[in-house]
Chains A and B, each alone.
Chain A
Amino acid sequence: MHPRTLLAGLVLAAVLTGCRGSDPGLVRIVSSLPRTGSARQQSDTVVRGIRMAIEEAGGRAGPFRIDYLDLDDSTAATGLWTSEAEAANARAALQDPDVVAYIGTLNSGSARVSMPILNYGDLLMVSPATTAVGLTKPDLGEFGEPEVYRPTGRRNFIRVIPADDLQGPLAADWAAGRGFERVFVLDDGDAYGKGIADLFAERCRELGLTVLGQDSIDPKAQEFRSLMATVAAAGPDLVYFGGTTQSKGGQVAKDLAATGIESPLLVPDGCLEPAFIEAAGREAVEGRCYVTFGGIAPERLTGRGRAFVERYEKLHGEPPEAFAVYGYEAARVAIHAITAAGVKDRRAITDAALAIRDFDGPLGRWSVDANGDTTLAALTVLAVRDGRFAFEEQLEAGGVDPGKAKTVVENGGEG
């Protein structure tokens, strides 16, 4: 190669890389959530929460200006998050030297893809919504979890929402407290759905409830009438479905109603989205479907949380959905960690986040535990009323006596 060509090439390369050079006064926070398909409504409110947190901080974290980038981990063709999109987001975040925090994901399956990638760069990952136990907790998930998500051996993942080891068992406590005795447990066979259904069934047995049967559906099947006939023959007074809207939660509710089963349906937070009611058809779930949520419902928040809900309503003209405040809190954690670290260094920022203790947020006062989980332990039960999710009851973990099921601390009115 001619020396001049080589020189020109080098200059060009320098210019090109220089364009992507980092700005020392700027930090970038990215979020990776499904921005198309049926989960979009949920993501929209999470993103609004993130934007509100950044705006409240004056767009600054310590000495740095904050730039926010809203990434999509779903594709229009599938209407669902995909491994490819999530992995691409994680790699893009790692390669951008300005990115110091990654807020995401909405789905546990998606988090499984990006967690090990981000771990290599010690990039702080804060999840507002993933609840599968295996992501953080040793001995509760699949074989090799959660070490498989930490290839470097160091930690970088925090979630601000309680995991399913709270949601599943507390849902059983609620069922026992409501006087249900015979439950039929269904799940979608996925890590999240089957995981939470197993925890629910186990706790039901501990509490002395009869688990009539447990079966996994094929989420690609179109209808479950034959299965519902089996459920009807067993004669349950409560049916549990561990799964999401995207794994046919709506069709399960629909077929349950069409088979003439009168018993209510209990579902976890994977179905806590308007798309679930839409898919099931209002008449199939109205007044007979309960949804658990490992957190606090917007209408039950106090103090800082109340202020958030009011500001959200003023800004967007509608009450926030359940996950909005978790998006807000996830962004606050990231901003706090950047401020506390005071330097633009991914490891220092991640360590500052892991060291969070007695954090005063909209959800109450909480700390990050040794696994990266929140110490909060509240469970909310919502019911479908007038075509939307209405507050039903709030339960607290701790001091739960397996013999008795008197864990109900508050009995809510209309939401």
Chain B
Amino acid sequence: MSLALPLAETVMSLEFIAQQVVIGLASGSLIALVALGYTMVYGVVGLVNFAHGDLFMLGGCLAVTLVEAAGPPQAGAPAAVGILLLVVLCGLFCGGLNLAVDRLVYRPLRESPKLAPLVSSIGVSFIFMNLGLFWIGPSDRSFPSLVPADNLLPFESLRFSSRDLLVVAVVVPLMAGLAVLVRSTRSGKAMRAVAQDPTAAALVGVNVEKVIGATFFLGGFLAGAASVVYAATITTIGFQMGFQTGLYAFTAAVLGGIGSIPGAVVGGLVIGLVRALGGACLGERWAGGIVFAVLIAVLVFRPEGLFGRRQREKV
């Protein structure tokens, strides 16, 4: 730290800060996509699904397996088509898996005390992690660099690569689509109704179980999509990667106010930014600590999180 501080002062140029903001927003958007899965499920069934991070990891396993099966990228097929295909396939896979887990594990426990599904989700998390271990083995796997890390900007010291563009190109439409779905469609209305009061929603004819299933599927789909973008930008897949990503995503959901969709997005971005800028100012080794210090500070002054309660647009 003693060495990192003076260094940070000398290089704290505007470009450097802008660079860290770009990096922070890119990693924050991925955290936000995963965080949406936590917050949506919490919104409708009040469950913190601890297996969500490992579901994300399984999406990455499928992505690496598919890409390796497809062989080296052909010159004719642009990488964008391949990525889009992967996003859809891994999204469907993770969505389906999340739905299946809800049907098999959480649904029988719907009327049980809250702790029963919570502990079950920790169990599912371990099962997923072991599946990942079987699937891709214990050591980290390199994901082929489908998207180049070239700089799209004409600056020397400020980089915005094709990989960052990929993050924007996948994350923004997905979030916009989700917002439209939740706000303006009939199923979105049903979701909001179940989030507010499941009993009342059932009384007015909403099929509550169907809505819950759809929520699990959507959350899983977003995690699967995030895993593909993650694999293409970070280019390393390991069976333990779900833990840290899941922890950050859960933190983002809590920071934004769990149950709130805009809260999860803002929480994810805040965590990405705090990690990048905090790490750059105080040294990389403190990056993780700063994130949780910010979380504690926010929760002390706003226990409901940034967007909790006040903007009650729960899913």
Contact = CB atoms under 8 A, between A and B. Distances in A.
Interface of A: 36-38, 76-80, 189, 211-218, 220-227, 229-230, 232-234, 250-251, 254, 257-260, 275, 278-281, 283
Interface string B243-284: 011000000000000000000000000000001100110011
Given A37-B138, A213-B4, A218-B285, A226 B244 contact: no
Contact of A216 (B27, B130, B245, B285): B285
A226 B280 contact: yes
Contacts of A220: 244
A254 B234 CA distance: 9
Interface string B214-257: 00000000000000000000111000010011000000000000
A104 B3 CA distance: 36
Given A232-B157, A260-B151, A36 B11 contact: no
Contacts of A281: 142, 145, 235
A229 B23 contact: yes
15 contacts: A38-B138, A78-B138, A80-B138, A213-B4, A214-B3, A218-B288, A225-B276, A227-B280, A229-B19, A230-B8, A230-B16, A234-B11, A251-B140, A260-B149, A281-B145
B20 A226 contact: yes
B138 A79 contact: yes
Nearest to B133: A77
B213 to A, nearest CB: 31
Contacts of A234: 7, 11
Q: Which DSSP category, helix, strand, loop or mixed, fits chain B's interface?
A: helix
B139 interface: yes
A17 B97 CA distance: 54
A1 B105 CA distance: 52
B115 to A, nearest CB: 27
A226 B287 contact: yes
Contacts of A222: 234, 236, 241, 244-245
A310 to B, nearest CB: 31
The 4 A-B pairs at the shortest CB distance, nearest first, are namely A79-B138, A258-B149, A38-B139, A226-B276
A278 B142 CA distance: 7
A76 B138 contact: yes
Interface string B143-173: 0010001010000010101010000000000
Contacts of B157: 232-233
B24 interface: yes
B13 interface: yes
Contacts of A218: 284-285, 287-288
Contacts of B16: 229-230, 233
A78 B26 CA distance: 30
A278 B144 CA distance: 11
A225 B139 contact: no
A216 B149 CA distance: 24
B159 A259 contact: yes
B117 to A, nearest CB: 26
A78 B24 CA distance: 30
Nearest to B12: A233
Contacts of B7: 212-213, 230, 234
A176 B130 CA distance: 47
B297 to A, nearest CB: 21
A388 B13 CA distance: 39
A38 B141 CA distance: 11
A79 B139 contact: yes
A250 to B, nearest CB: 6
Contacts of B139: 37-38, 79, 275, 278-279
A230 B280 contact: yes
Contact of A226 (B24, B130, B138): B24
Nearest to A232: B157
Given A213-B4, A222-B234, A233 B11 contact: yes
Contacts of A217: 284-285
Given A226-B279, A230-B7, A233-B157, A221 B138 contact: no
A217 B288 CA distance: 10
Contacts of A227: 279-280, 284
Contacts of A215: 3-4, 283-285
Nearest to B6: A213
A224 B284 contact: yes
Nearest to A40: B139
B73 to A, nearest CB: 14
A80 B3 CA distance: 32
A106 B23 CA distance: 37
Interface in B70-88: none
Contacts of A233: 11, 13, 16, 19, 157
B236 A250 contact: yes
Contacts of B138: 36-38, 76-80
A51 to B, nearest CB: 25
A213 B280 contact: no
B208 to A, nearest CB: 37
Contacts of B24: 226
Nearest to A254: B235
A259 B139 CA distance: 24
A235 to B, nearest CB: 9
